[in-house]
Amino acid sequence: MAFAEAMRQINPDVVAAYPITPSTEIPMKFAEYVADGLVDTEYITVESEHSAITACVGASVAGARVMTASSANGVGLMHEIFPIAAAFRAPIVFGLVNRSLGAPVNIHCDHSDSMPERDSGWIQIYCEDAQEVYDTALMSVRLAEHPDVLTPVFVCQDGFITSHCYEPVDFLDDEAVTEFVGSREPRYPLLDVDNPVSYGSFVMSEHYFEIKRNQMEGMENALRVCREVSGELARITGRDYPPVERYRTDDAEYVIVIMSSAAGVVKDVADDLRSRGVRAGCLRVRMFRPFPSEEISEALSGVKCAAVLDRSASPGGTPPLAAEVRSALYTSCCAGNRMPSPVQSFIYGLGGRDLYPGDVESVFEGLSRGEHFLAPRYIGLREGTGGEERGGR
């Protein structure tokens, strides 16, 4: 809803969306705005999520300001087109409501839909609450369309927990939004028939590599531009969003690294532990692509132990956030900085299972006892004794 309201105020040129279940309320709400004449948007209803994102790409390279939204398996169906959008430098802003990928069919939150897209070349921003979703939608238009970036953006929020819960959100006036987002100035619009260009021509090995490297430059610039745009919005709203939120980490001995809505629980528990003399903190990663490695290694440089809580798994590998955090710390360590040790990895909340304060407290307790496990562990999972022998029965 907060995202849909931001869309109404942004008034994009084109929205193409498909109302699959499970999708989101966002295209539904936006369709009402179109029907009520509140926006000038060309709203394209299509026959699948794949077509939705394909139409978005076409409209974006034509020169339009384009937004859409989806979730879970709908995002999965769009997968083929995401890297094309990024390679075309199509600055689409995408409301991604994080829901688990089937099977089994489930409509609730985890990050298994967006994480497979982490190498698609899209910026990924994970929001903690509805206010942040709204603010991020506004700044993402500027970020995506910035000439140094020209990269599509996923504005991620937790399915149901953030997308469907009621909470107060402070909206800007329509005029303030219009002024903040400005209008798009496309670099090579297909509709400029006097200056014809072609997108996505066949390229053999002679130039493919150079074109992909050129594309990465937009991502390289995104952290800097995001800070600038965020600062500019903060001057209007008073709300600033750095790539990483450091909650009581400055003097912390034990830190939990987490993304999105569950950070609230970790912050609450950190407050509680602090009142009992434990120096606990929460490091909330807001930007996942590009990954703010330096901020993270700097924030963790003084801690004794850290735990990374992932809301998705990478079967056979390290969960995505933990892998990135460890990589950042290893790089920082190679540069001569101290590495907190050990960095524990946990998986929580798959299929919308809640993360309770008691769960978080036991993670902090484990950290303070210096527990060390090589493999990722699970939070809130029913585990029988006997392990594998019981499996499959």
Partner 1 sequence: MSGGGLCWQDVLPGTVTLGASSQSVETGLWRSVRPVLDAGKCVSCLRCWAQCPDASILTGDGGSVLGINMFFCKGCGICAQICPVGAISIRPESDFQGEAVSSGRGVGPLKVGELVG
Q: Which residues bind partner 1 (CB under 8 A)?
A: 61, 87-90, 150, 187-188, 195-201, 203, 206-207, 209-211, 213-215, 217-218
Task: Give the pair of three-digit tokens for residue 134.
Answer: 């709204």
The closest of 70, 69, 72, 71 to 104, measured between CA atoms, is 72
Least separation in angstroms between CB 215 and partner 1: 7
Bridge partners of residue 156, in order along the sequence: 96, 126
Nearest CB to partner 1, comparing residues 187 and 390: 187
Nearest CB to partner 1, comparing residues 28 and 197: 197
Let me know if 327 is exposed, middle or buried by CB neighbors in 10 A (0-12, 13-18, 19+). middle
The closest of 45, 105, 101 to 75, measured between CA atoms, is 101
The closest of 309, 294, 312, 328 to 263, measured between CA atoms, is 309
DSSP 267-289: HHHHHHHHHTT--EEEEEE-EEE
Nearest CB to partner 1, comparing residues 220 and 271: 220
Nearest CB to partner 1, comparing residues 198 and 385: 198
Nearest CB to partner 1, comparing residues 204 and 335: 204
Least separation in angstroms between CB 225 and partner 1: 15
Least separation in angstroms between CB 188 and partner 1: 5
Nearest CB to partner 1, comparing residues 205 and 275: 205
Least separation in angstroms between CB 312 and partner 1: 30
Least separation in angstroms between CB 55 and partner 1: 18
Q: How far apart are CA 296 and CA 302, in angstroms?
A: 11
Nearest CB to partner 1, comparing residues 195 and 385: 195
Least separation in angstroms between CB 118 and partner 1: 21
Q: Among all chains, which residue has been given the structure tokens 């629980």? A: 265
Measured CA to CA in angstroms, residue 263 lies from 231, 266, 286, 352 at distances of 22, 5, 10, 15
The closest of 63, 51, 67, 58 to 14, measured between CA atoms, is 67
> Phi and psi at residue 76, in whole multiples of 5°?
-60, -40
Least separation in angstroms between CB 17 and partner 1: 23
Least separation in angstroms between CB 184 and partner 1: 14
Nearest CB to partner 1, comparing residues 147 and 231: 147
Strands 244-247 and 280-285 come out as antiparallel
